[in-house]
Amino acid sequence: MLSKIQVKLFAAEDVNVEEYVPVFHRWIRERVLGELLIDVVDYTHVTDGPHVVLIGHESDYVLDRGNGRLGLLYVHKRGPRPENLLAALRRALEVGKRLETEAVSEPLRFRTDRILVRIADRLAAPGNDETYARLVPAFRAELERVYDQPEVVRVGNPRELFTVEARAAVAPSLDELLQRLNGASA
């Protein structure tokens, strides 16, 4: 079973992520996510990378602009690990939905027709063809429980973490994806 699964939801359009620094601080104070959240780090000076990081004990939530694409990156680090990709996707969608409801001048909206999945474990999942052949059938089977015939494409190169992008022809709402996930046992 894989751990260190990361899931990124892509933003529909660019927004000022600095507005989310006080939002994340409030989430810590109010224990919004039901897990131990520790700090917020502002890396908005970084061009293509993490911009605002909500650091938790078990997970990090990153407003990330990796490869020039803004989105929410869910990073599971420790503790009760996601049992599979669907559990990690569920957590990313729940937090994405919460971000969309925050009262900021430029609210985030997320695309649901594409998600990025990364395994941050080079030993268990090196970024090569063998890993792709081994993992993608299982990923596709899990994703088909929430998407209709998703295309799963390898992105990056063998020197990077194993990364795939799931692409769907139809973009259901976050609510609809969460309903489908709740109907699928993760």
User: Contact 181/86 with Cβ under 8 angstroms?
Assistant: yes
| Distance separating alpha carbons of residues 165 and 115, to the nearest angstrom | 6
| Structural domain harbouring 130 | 5-183
Predicted local confidence at residue 83, as pLDDT? 60
Q: What is the pTM of this model?
A: 0.92
From the CB of residue 53, how many other CB atoms can be counted at a distance below 10 Å?
A: 20
Among candidates 160, 159, 80, 152, which has minimal Cα distance to 116?
A: 152
Predicted local confidence at residue 84, as pLDDT? 76
3-state secondary structure the chain: CCCCEEEEEEECCCCCHHHHHHHHHHHHHHCCCCCCEEEEEECCCCCCCEEEEEEECCEEEEEECHHHCCEEEEEECCCCCCCCHHHHHHHHHHHHHHHHCCCCCCCCCEEEEEEEEEECCCCCCCCCHHHHHHHHHHHHHHHCCCCCCCEEEEECCCCCCEEEEEECCCCCCHHHHHHHHHHCCC
Low-confidence spans in the chain with pLDDT less than 50: 186
Predicted local confidence at residue 185, as pLDDT? 52
Predicted local confidence at residue 79, as pLDDT? 60
For 63, phi then psi, to 5°, come to -85, 105
- Mind listing the pLDDT tens digit for each residue in 49-84? 999 999 999 999 999 999 899 999 999 887 655 567
Predicted local confidence at residue 186, as pLDDT? 46
Predicted local confidence at residue 64, as pLDDT? 96
Domain count, the chain: 1
Handedness of CA 22, 27, 30, 36 (dihedral sign): negative
